Every structure is written in C-alpha cells, then in structure tokens.
Amino acid sequence: MKPDEIRRLSAELSPQEACESLVARARTRGGFDNITVQVVAASPQEGPAGLATRLGGAVRTLLARARA
C-alpha cells in the first residue's frame, strides 16, 4: 500500500474505520498473516511530547494484546 493511500484513508475516516479499511485492503491484496495496523488521532495542540506519550501507550496495548 502506498503512503499516500494510507494518509488519505487515515485523514478521511475515524481511527477505527481507517484500521478496518486498511486491514481489508491488505487482505484483498494478498496479505493473510501478520497484518498489524494502528491509527492514532492527534491534534497540533498536543505537541510532540503528548503524541509520544499516547503512541507509547498504544504500542504497549498492542503488544499486550499480541501476547494474550
């Protein structure tokens, strides 16, 4: 999938809808195993430190789910 396509879907859809759409597209294009997608909504007011904190939490959640 091209970065522009990922960027467009992420901007047009909610994070949940973008993830579902990206996974569906990956599957239709031949990906059937190890497809991982995470879209995190951020605002410019949040700043880099806030975004880094939220991304870190999102990654921890993703890893915990993968281990379960």
Could you list the residue range(s) of the whole structural domain that residue 9 is in? 1-37
Residue 60 neighbours by CB under 8 Å, 6+ apart: none
Q: What is the pLDDT of residue 35?
A: 87
Separation in Å, CA 60 to CA 24, 38, 65: 24, 12, 9
d(CA 17, CA 44): 22
Question: Do 31 and 46 share a domain, yes or no?
Answer: no
Specify whether 11 is located in the same domain as 30.
yes
What pTM was computed for the model?
A: 0.62
Model confidence pLDDT, tens digit, residues 12-64: 998 889 999 999 999 999 988 888 888 877 777 777 777 777 778 778 887 88
**What's the pLDDT score for residue 25?**
92
23 and 45 belong to one structural domain? no
C-alpha to C-alpha distance for 27 and 21, rounded to whole angstroms: 10
